[in-house]
Amino acid sequence: EVQLVESGGGLVQPGRSLKLSCVASGFTFNNYWMTWIRQAPGKGLEWVASITNTGGSTYYPDSVKGRFTISRYNAKSTLYLQMNSLRSEDTATYYCTRDLRPGTPGFAYWGQGTLVTVSS
């Protein structure tokens, strides 16, 4: 069974940093692209970052580019999101997601999410 378990969320002051983790199990982690998606309270979904299965390429929207870094440690089946210079608008539940199949995008598997609150 595919499982994605996020951790690392919490309350953080504006301008500070936080690192999220997502531990994957139930599949061969190094075969899949992985993606972080967030959802602000009561709002819609926003794509945050994607990484190829090898970690060789990463992708970000302008809203987080230069502040957030997605990475992975395939030996430990773990995905990360390093978030720097946090802003109030980064307050959201952050979901770790996996593609449907290798080479077939579509966020078929989601973690339970971890809440990040940026506030002084």
Helix (H, G, I), strand (E, B) or coil at 87: coil
The answer to the question of residue 110 lying near another protein (CB under 8 A) is yes
Q: Binding another protein by CB under 8 A: which of 13, 41, 62, 120?
A: 62
Task: Give 31 or 73: the residue with its C-beta nearer to another protein.
Answer: 31
Sign of CA dihedral 56, 62, 68, 70: negative
Q: Count the neighbouring beta carbons within 10 Å of the beta carbon of residue 74.
A: 15
Q: What is the largest CA-CA distance in the chain?
A: 42
Kindly report the number of other CB atoms within 10 A of residue 102's CB atom: 12
Q: Does 27 interact with another protein (rule: CB under 8 A)? A: no
Q: Which residues pair with 94 in a beta bridge?
A: 38, 114
Give residue 70's identity as a one-letter amino acid code.
I
Selected range binding another protein among 10-18, 25-33, 40-48, 68-76, rule: CB under 8 A: 40-48
8 binds another protein (CB under 8 A): no
With contacts defined by CB under 8 A, name the span among 13-21, 23-31, 73-81, 107-115 that binds another protein. Answer: 107-115
* Interacting residue with another protein among 24, 50, 90, 91 (CB under 8 A): 50
Question: Can you give the binding site for another protein, defined by CB under 8 A?
Answer: 37, 44-47, 50, 59-62, 95, 100, 104-108, 110-113
